[in-house]
Amino acid sequence: MNTPSRLHQWCIAFLPEAPHTRPREWLRAALGASLGFVFTTWLCGQLFGPQLAVHFSGPLAASAVLLFAVSSGALAQPWSILGSYLCATLVGVLVGHLLDHSLLGAALAIGLSLLLMCPLRCLHPPGGAIAFCVVFAPVAPGIPAWHPAMTVVIAALGLLSSALIYNNLTGMRYPRQTAPAADAHHTRDPLPGERVGIRDTDLDQALDELGAFVDVTREDLAMIVKSTERYALRRSMGDIRAGQVMSRDLICATPGTSIKQGLHLLRHHHLKALPILDHKQQLVGIVSLSDLIAPLHHRPAKRLGLFKRRPRPRLGELMSSPVRCTDVDTHVVDLIGVLSDRGLHCLPVLENEKLVGIITQTDVIAALQRDLLAHFD
C-alpha cells in the first residue's frame, strides 16, 4: 500500500460510523440523562451544599451520558460506576492528605485510580475525573473533611438509582442480565445450538488475543455473533419461508376429544403433537404424546363401590395453552433456534390469525439439506 492510500485510510478513521440506534432512543437517553443529572445534583446540594454539588457536576454529567445512552455497555454497569467512584475517592483522599493539592497530585490520583479500577473490573471513565475533583475538593471552615467523599458516594447512588428506575420503566433493561438457558431435558448437556459453533471459551480467547479493552459484555458479543451467523445463513439459503415447507394437510382435534382418540391420531399419523381447534376453527391449544400418557400413569386405584369413578379427562383439560406459534412469512433460519433449543418438536403456523399449517423439526432439516446440496452443485 502506497503512502497516499495509507494517509487516506488514516483520515477516514477519524470519521464516525453510521449509528445503529433510532432517534426515539436518542430522545429517551437525552431525557433520562437530564433528569438523572438534575436529581443527583439537587440531592447532593441538599445534603452537602451547592458548592460541592457543582464541584462534582462534571463527572456526574459524563456518567449520566454513559448510564442512560449506552446502558448496555460494560463501562455503564452498576459495579462500574460504584466501584470506580469508590476507588477514585479513596485514592483522591489519600493523595490529597499524603502529598498536596496540586496538578501533579491530581495526575497521580488519576493514574492510581485507573490502576485500581482495571483489576477490580470497574473501569468507568468519569472515575478519573472524580479522582481529580476529590484532590481539589473545596473544604470551607467548619465543614467536615469527609463531606467531599460522602458527596461522591451519594452522587453515585443517586445517579445509579435514577438509571435503574428510568431505564427499566422506558423499556431498556438495566443492568444487563444473562438470560438463563432453557433446559427442556433437565440434563447437564449444553443446548443443541451450543454444542457446535462458537462457545464462551472461544469468545474469551478472542478477547484475550485482542489484548485491549472492548466496551461490550461477553454476552452481548455472543448475541451479536449469533445474529450475524443467522443473517449470513439467511442470505445463503435464500428466501425460504415457513409457508413453503410446512405441512398443510393438518390432523387436528377438539377440546372434547378423548385421550384414546388422541393417542390413535398420534400413532396412526406418526405425529408428535395435535393442534386443538374450537368450534370456530380457532387454535386454542396443543397436546403432545407426553401430555396424553401422563394421566394414564397416574390413574387412581380401583375404589369401593361407594365411590363413583372419575371420568377420564378430555384433551381440552390436558392441552398446553396459549400456544407458541409462528407466521407463514417467518424465515426458516429464525425457526432453527426455537425448534432445537426450546424443547419444541413443532410449531403451528398462522396466517391472519388462522391455523394453516404445522412446521416440524423434520421440515427444517429438509430445508437445510436442500441448502447444503445446493452448495455442491
**For the segment 280-327, what is each residue's pLDDT rounded down to a tens digit?**
889 999 999 888 887 666 555 555 454 555 677 889 898 999 999 999
Assigned domain for 159 exists: yes
What DSSP assignment string belongs to 212-234? S--SS-HHHHHHHHHHHHHHHHH
Is the pLDDT at 138 greater than 80, yes or no?
yes
Tell whether 39 and 152 lie within a shared domain: yes
Between 2 and 254, the more confident residue is 254
In a domain, 6, yes or no: no
Quick one: 27 and 162 in the same domain? yes
Identify the weakest region by mean pLDDT among 49-53, 58-62, 149-153, 226-230. 226-230
Q: Are both 143 and 263 inside the same structural domain?
A: no
Q: Is 284 helix (H, G, I), strand (E, B) or coil?
A: strand
Mean pLDDT, to the nearest integer, of 335-340?
A: 86
Choose among 279, 272, 294: nearest CA to 348. 272
Q: For residue 186, what pLDDT band results from cuts at 50, 70 and 90?
A: low
What number is the average pLDDT over the span 267-278? 91
* Among the ranges given (24-38, 287-301, 322-336), the one the predictor scored with the smallest mean pLDDT: 287-301
Same domain, 36 and 162: yes
pLDDT for residue 51 is more than 50: yes
Question: Which residues 6+ apart lie within 8 Å of 165 measured at CB?
Answer: none
Q: What is the pLDDT of residue 304?
A: 47
Q: What is the pLDDT of residues 218-253, one digit of tens each?
A: 777 777 888 888 888 888 888 889 999 999 999 999
Q: What is the rounded average pLDDT of the residues 110-139?
A: 93
Q: Is the dihedral of CA 147, 151, 152, 157 positive or negative?
A: positive
Cα 170 from chain centre: 15
Q: Are residues 35 and 146 in the same domain?
A: yes
Cβ-contact 242, 330 below 8 angstroms: yes
| Residue 354 in this model has a pLDDT that exceeds 80 | yes
| Domain contains 249 | yes
Per-residue confidence (pLDDT) for residue 87, from 0 to 100: 96
CA distance 225 to 231: 10
In the predicted model, is pLDDT for residue 101 greater than 90?
A: no
In a domain, 215, yes or no: no
**Which among 56-65, 94-103, 316-325, 357-366 has the top mean pLDDT?**
56-65
Nearest partner of 286 among 260, 318, 327, judged by Cα: 318
Does the structure show a pLDDT above 90 at 69? yes
pLDDT at residue 268, as a whole number? 92
Q: How confident is the model at residue 20 (pLDDT cuts 50, 70, 90)?
A: confident
Asked whether the predicted pLDDT for residue 40 surpasses 80, the reply is yes
One domain, residues 247 and 164? no
Q: Domain check: are 141 and 45 in the same one?
A: yes
pLDDT of residue 113: 96
> Which domain range does residue 162 map to?
21-169
Decide which of 111, 143, 169 is a domain's last residue.
169
Is there a contact between 43 and 154 (Cβ–Cβ < 8 Å)? yes
Say which residues have a Cβ less than 8 Å from residue 190's Cβ, sequence separation at least 6. 181
Mean pLDDT value of segment 53-75: 93
> 156: pLDDT confidence band, cut at 50, 70 and 90?
very high
For residue 249, the Cα-to-chain-centroid distance in whole angstroms is 38
Number of domain units in the chain: 2
* Of residues 195 and 202, more confidently modeled: 202
Q: Is residue 283 part of a domain?
A: yes
- Could you tell me what percent of the chain has a pLDDT over 70? 86
Q: Are residues 40 and 152 in the same domain?
A: yes
Is the domain of 160 the same as that of 258?
no
Last residue of a domain, one of 169, 202, 227: 169
In this predicted structure, the answer to whether residue 34 has a pLDDT above a threshold of 60 is yes
8 inside domain = no
Do 39 and 125 fall within a single domain? yes
- How sure is the predictor about 21, in pLDDT bands with cuts at 50, 70 and 90? confident
* CATH code of 291's domain: 3.10.580.10
176/215 Cα distance (integer angstroms): 13
Does residue 230 sit within a domain? Answer: no
Mean pLDDT of 340-347: 83
Residues 34, 155 share a domain: yes
The mean predicted confidence, pLDDT, of the chain is 85
* Residue 54 confidence (pLDDT) above 60: yes
Q: What are phi and psi of 267, to 5 degrees?
A: -70, -40
- Single out the residue in 150, 169, 188 at which a domain terminates: 169
Identify whether 72 is part of a domain.
yes
Angle at 244 between CA 238 and CA 246, to 5 degrees: 130
